[in-house]
Homo-oligomer: A and B are copies of this chain.
Amino acid sequence: MNNIDLSLYLVTDNSDDEEKFLKTIEEAINGGVTVVQIREKTADTLDFYNLALKVKEITTKYNVPLIINDRVDVALAVDADGVHVGQSDMPCDITRELIGENKILGVSAATIDEAKKAEKDGADYIGTGAVFPTSTKDDAPSITKKDLKNIVDSINIPVVAIGGINIENANELKNTGISGLSVVSAIMSADNPKKASEKLLNIFNS
């Protein structure tokens, strides 16, 4: 099992304005983000590869792990720290074979069964949600705080909550046993990504 500080887990969104995108990631890390996942569902492979190389320069500089969403090939090509797969991506056990034991493997799971299977198949952590309404992932299933706690209690690997988390609602996730908050727009769309990250991390740690 690979250890990873999941406390404040940034998942990126649209990178069309690349300069702003990279600046936001750097500011977020300066504000306390502990993991960065890049998620690019529409980019050509070359674009995703090139973007991943640029993000990796930043994450390496600050010694923060870089996780690639879905694309094991991109993760291997840029030697990222890990991969995050959903239930429509490469199966967890096959992904583990492809990336080896030393890279981080995260899996999105919306049910206890999915979470248990991911743990059995080699996942290092689970991402689960959406815990709040969100427009980022249209297809994300919604779960209650009770569901979240039940998933946390059903497995021995850490769980991050995702979906609509922001500085207004993050404190509602206390006492669920999660190991971190995963956010997209609360940081990526913040006027001040550094401040937003500091506040979110404070809420999680308080």
* A residues at B contact (CB < 8 Å): 44-47, 49, 70-74, 76-77, 85, 87-91, 94, 98
Contact = CB atoms under 8 A, between A and B. Distances in A.
Quick one: copies of this chain in the complex?
A: 2
Nearest to A98: B76
A94 B71 CA distance: 15
B77 A90 contact: yes
B45 A94 contact: no
Contact of A77 (B70, B77, B88, B98): B98
A91 B77 CA distance: 10
Contacts of A46: 87-91
Given A73-B73, A74-B90, A77-B98, 14 more contacts: A44-B88, A45-B70, A45-B71, A45-B89, A46-B87, A46-B88, A47-B88, A49-B91, A49-B94, A71-B73, A72-B73, A72-B76, A72-B77, A76-B98
Contacts of A85: 45
Contacts of A44: 88-89
Contacts of A73: 71-73, 76, 90, 98
The CB with the most chain B CB atoms within 10 A, among A46, A47, A87, is that of: A46
A115 to B, nearest CB: 18
Contacts of A77: 72, 90, 94, 98
Contact of A90 (B49, B70, B89, B98): B49
Contacts of A94: 49, 77
